[in-house]
Amino acid sequence: MCYYENGRVALAVNNLSAHQSKYYIYDDDQAKTMVCSLNEYAVGFAVNNTRGHKDRYSRLVLTKTGGVYADAKKNIIHQWKWDRKSQNSGIIPPEGIHMSLNKNLTLHFDDRFNIEITYGVLGITKNFSAGLKLKRMTSYLDTARSTGLGRLEVQLDSRRSLNQRQDDFSSSMSALRNKNNPKSHNLSSMVSEIVSGLENHFDTYEKDKRGVPSLKLGQARTEAFNSTCGELPEIRKTEQDIDMRKGYSDALYIDKTTDYEFDAKKTARKILVRPDGKWRTDLEIRQQLMNVEHPPNRRPRFLQCASGHYSYSQPLATGELRENNIEKISTVPERAELRSTLEQRMADMVDFSQQLLNKKQ
């Protein structure tokens, strides 16, 4: 993207591939008038929109078959075809066509392959080659040889095979590999002997200095495996079960004739079963989780004193009690009948919770 001094877009390039692009050029006006457009096949147009220029509104039109150049009065000055052997092919002006798109952009046209757009704003100049670009300019038929049997033998240039290109790449990367892992035979005679001595000493280091395991984990692994198997509930095989011999199958399945009763309470967590062997209720399990497995941390004294909640029942450092000088403020006036109603509701809620607990037990 290239911009004008006021920030408007002057030229936009859309790269379709490594060698082909599309060009869109806009004028420096509020309507963002397009003054030139060329695609990857050099097909498009260009208009001279320079204010005050004598050739303003002159235009150049390029198509797949040829091109046309007209002056400001829409009179065709030059017309030609790309195929020079076609009838009425016309002639491209030998000096080319050089037209100003506006005060900051110009276009230079010599032929289909040589089209240049010049951008210049605030002393910044950039040239864009917008002509037709092909990977190969020649044709196989230009160098083909006739065999005399109605066939053409294509003459290809001498090209290196895939193996040869791989060898060239390996040799070119040898210098980069030597930076990470230098070898003595790739170094100069000044340091090759020193590096050779280091290679003889360190290349066999891994083989000569193999350590011996300090822990014998054979028995530990067996004990761990037996402990894991002891925690798995045993399952009696049925007629539909397939004989399995991998993993924990021997510890998980028991024989059909073995008398075995599965008791889930033996492997259940302690918070799920009461000391008398009965299952705990949902409320009891939640209490166990909150108080036994995840007990709340006790608030230190310095947090209680600095948390903003002052307890006047705690003695001071001198042993005296604080005097409650804070005046109680309530949004609801305290009345005897309101206090008795709240106390009755709290008593009813406690009785209802106790009844539900008794029913679950």
As a whole number of angstroms, the distance between CA 361 and CA 356 comes to 9
Let me know: does 195 contact 184? Beta carbons within 8 Å. yes
Q: How many CA atoms lie within 13 A of 165 on its CB side?
A: 4
Write the CB contacts of 299 (distance below 8 Å, at least 6 apart in sequence): 307
Instruction: Say what the pLDDT of residue 305 is.
Output: 62
121: which strand partners?
Answer: 124
Give the pLDDT of residue 221: 77
> Per-residue pLDDT for the chain (361 aa), expressed as one digit of tens each?
999 998 899 999 998 888 889 999 999 888 889 999 999 999 999 999 988 888 889 999 999 999 999 998 889 999 999 988 888 888 899 899 999 999 999 999 999 999 999 999 988 899 999 989 888 777 777 778 888 778 888 777 677 778 888 988 888 787 677 777 777 777 778 888 888 888 887 777 766 666 665 556 667 777 887 777 776 666 666 666 655 556 666 666 666 556 656 566 666 778 888 888 888 899 998 888 888 887 777 766 665 665 544 455 555 555 555 555 555 555 556 677 777 888 888 888 888 888 888 877 6
Place of tokens 């995840």: 294
CB-CB contact of 198 with 206 (8 Å): no
Output the pLDDT for position 343.
85
* pLDDT at position 237: 65
Between the two ends of the chain, the Cα-to-Cα distance in Å is: 78
The residues pairing with 100 across neighbouring beta strands, listed in sequence order, are 106
